[in-house]
Amino acid sequence: MRARLDGIPLAQSYASANFRVTEADWRAAANPDNVEHTLQVAVVDGSGTVLIESAPIRFYAHRATVRRTTR
């Protein structure tokens, strides 16, 4: 399986439907600070040929940040 986040392929392929979007994947996304994203998954064979591909799914993610203040 191959997945795309915001149209950008994730760094690695997966042998099952369980996969993680890493911090590096978020940074590589088209606009990582945006809350609206798309995810698309394709099943590929051993040579990398796409056998079937999903439509992009839109989702919203808010990445929490911690603001540190110094005194």
pLDDT in single tens digits along all 71 residues of the chain: 999 999 998 888 888 878 888 888 888 876 767 788 899 999 999 898 999 999 999 998 876 777 777 76
Total number of domains in the chain: 1
Strand partners, 58: 38
- Sorted by sequence, the CB contacts under 8 Å of residue 69 that are 6+ apart come out as none
Domain that holds residue 28: 2-60
In a domain, 25, yes or no: yes
In a domain, 71, yes or no: no
In a domain, 65, yes or no: no
Which helix (H) or strand (E) segment is 25 a member of? helix 23-28
How far are the Cα atoms of 23, 39, 55, 66 from residue 33, in angstroms, in the given order? 12, 16, 23, 15
Distance CA 55, CA 46 (A): 22
Distance CA 38, CA 40 (A): 7
In a domain, 70, yes or no: no
In a domain, 8, yes or no: yes
